[in-house]
Chain A
Amino acid sequence: MLHVPTAAADPVVVEDLVVRYGDLVAVDRVSFTAAAGAVTAVLGPNGAGKTSTIEVCEGYRTATSGRVSVLGLDPHRDQAKLSQRMGVMLQEGGVSPSARASDVVRLYCDLYGKGVVPADLLESVGLTDRARTAYRRLSGGEKQRLSLALALAARPDVAFLDEPTSGVDITGRQAIRGIIRALAAEGCAVVLATHELDEAEKLADRVVIFDHGRLVADGSLDDLRRGHDEIRFRSSVDLDREELGAALGHHVRAVFGEPGSYVIDGDASLVAPLTAWLADHGAPVTDLRAGQQRLEDVFLRLTGGTAADGTS
């Protein structure tokens, strides 16, 4: 696990957070920080403790133990103060089905009182022509963009977005990512919870990976991929993996369901001894590829999912 030291000045500081519901430990001694002007993705499978963590940061829940500071405030005790500078996007809902988009946006602009002009805000999330439409008649992507607009009405210094692109089509996702990037570019500390790797990979400057309530990785995408180099190649079906592994000093795995495909956890320095060994043993080699694992592989390995591609 990579560990980035916590900086007291970061807008979001979570230290040794524990959240328990009765006997269930939803969040187990989690620590991480989120920086201003950056997108921090809290990534993990459903039920990993992401929403519980975010809700403690928003002030909705209290921590069982540990310390959470958002903009230097205690989110639960100082929620009134924090709410003036915090943008929130719930995982779902938050708006009456019958409420018109323009009315809700106007209400939130007024509630935050930051001088955001409702029409401009609708424009910035691309909902100008849906202004008079009731929330229930909006598409999944439009609902999410409206919900995002309500967070933007706060002109937030910190924003917690829970699954902002769930149920949204590709075009809608691009629009939402653009808005989130712009928000971070203005200096806001954006924390987004997602179970979709693709979102984290496309948006995040920093990824915090949760599994079963624990933090299993924390770092930039490059940090997380580094040290997870691998070499893939194809050769004869009856390759002696034991002997090759012994020669290279690295375990050689066969890719399940793809006879003749192999993976070695190691970097490009193994390519020369590998090809030499294969040549000496008269084994063919094709499709040789050395590089970093995809984030998906890192994620699946860390969260105890089935190993990438089902290698054995």
Chain B
Amino acid sequence: MNTLRAQTRHEVSTTLRNSEQLLLTLIIPVMLLVFFSLVDVLPTGTKDPVDFLAPGILALAVMSSAMVSLGIGTGFERTYKVLKRLGATPLGRGRLVAAKIIAVIAVELVQFAVLIPVAYALGWRPSSPNWLGALGGVIVGTIAFAGIGLSLAGRLRGEINLAAQNGLYLVLLLLGGMVIPFTKLPGPISAVAKALPSGALADVLRETLAHGGVRPGTSWAILIAWAVVAPAAATRLFRWE
């Protein structure tokens, strides 16, 4: 068997068996989507909250698997010298990173397979969704978030990395236009929030799914910029042991 396949299978099965990570990647997004769709307390500005929430929660799902789950897992692997030991096998760093990316995509597929039907069940009816555009957003977003997660994981110690990833997740969740509209944030904070990858991805998904367009707007530019800068930072910051 080739090494990439072996490592990918190991990564996917490890991730899907890890209950803490499943809580983060699947259970929390589903709970947020269901709860705030049924309990209309968020100032979503749409007639039905699910119309605002569904694209936002999909963006949250990407952030939780590509940044937090990947970042925490990789950070602990670094601490426990798993990466160091793999460095002395024929796997190679390129294929290790590739295996991790494939594992993230696999988790995202599971997330979407659950979240999209749940959103439909809650009454989400995007008028003219541009799924291809949304997929593009998810790919660019995945690259951006993976870069951020690995930048932290590659430098911080295990427990500190864990805290940083979770803290960042919470901050981006609140500021990211995922469940709270930018318009409800105070002016200066709103401006910062829009420049974050979380806000950009949520905006891109909302635009492509709700309005069917790939508005070549600021959000795309911001998201693409993060997808360039964050992996470059990760490459520079990452320490294998």
Q: Which residues of A contact B (CB under 8 A)?
A: 58-60, 79-80, 83-84, 86, 88, 90, 92-99, 103, 107-108, 110-113, 150, 154
Contacts and interface: CB of A to CB of B under 8 A. Distances in A.
Contact of A107 (B7, B76, B80, B90): B7
B82 A93 contact: yes
Contacts of B87: 60, 79
B81 A107 contact: no
B85 A90 contact: yes
Nearest to B2: A113
A86 B3 contact: no
12 contacts: A58-B88, A83-B88, A83-B89, A93-B85, A94-B82, A96-B76, A96-B80, A99-B14, A103-B10, A103-B14, A107-B10, A113-B2
B3 A97 contact: no
Contacts of B6: 107, 110-111
A112 B90 contact: yes
Given A79-B87, A83-B88, A93-B80, 15 more contacts: A79-B88, A80-B90, A83-B90, A84-B90, A88-B85, A90-B81, A90-B85, A92-B81, A93-B81, A93-B84, A93-B85, A94-B85, A95-B80, A110-B6, A150-B85
B31 interface: no
The contact size tier of chain B is 20 to 34
A309 B94 CA distance: 55
A254 B241 CA distance: 50
A2 to B, nearest CB: 31
Nearest to B76: A96
Contacts of B13: 103
B77 A96 contact: yes
B91 interface: yes
Nearest to A87: B88
B88 A60 contact: yes
A107 B13 CA distance: 11
A96 B82 CA distance: 6
A150 B6 CA distance: 15
- 10 smallest A-B Cβ distances: which pairs? A110-B6, A94-B85, A93-B81, A88-B88, A107-B10, A111-B89, A93-B80, A110-B1, A84-B90, A94-B81
Given A96-B77, A113-B1, A108 B89 contact: yes
B183 interface: no
A107 B8 CA distance: 10
Contacts of A92: 81
B147 to A, nearest CB: 23
A14 B2 CA distance: 33
Contacts of A60: 84, 87-88, 241
A80 B96 CA distance: 13
A297 B88 CA distance: 37
Interface string B128-151: 000000000000000000000000
A95 to B, nearest CB: 6
Most chain-A Cβ atoms within 10 A of its Cβ — which of B6, B84, B85, B88? B88
B43 interface: no
Contacts of B82: 93-96
A95 B10 CA distance: 12
B18 interface: yes
B93 to A, nearest CB: 10
Contacts of A83: 88-90
B92 interface: yes
A90 B241 CA distance: 12
Nearest to B93: A80
Contacts of A94: 80-82, 84-85
Nearest to A98: B18
B81 to A, nearest CB: 4
Interface string B78-115: 00111011111111100000000000000000000000
Nearest to A110: B6
Most chain-B Cβ atoms within 10 A of its Cβ — which of A79, A93, A112? A93
B16 to A, nearest CB: 13
Nearest to A80: B92
A43 to B, nearest CB: 23
A230 B5 CA distance: 61
Contacts of A113: 1-3, 90
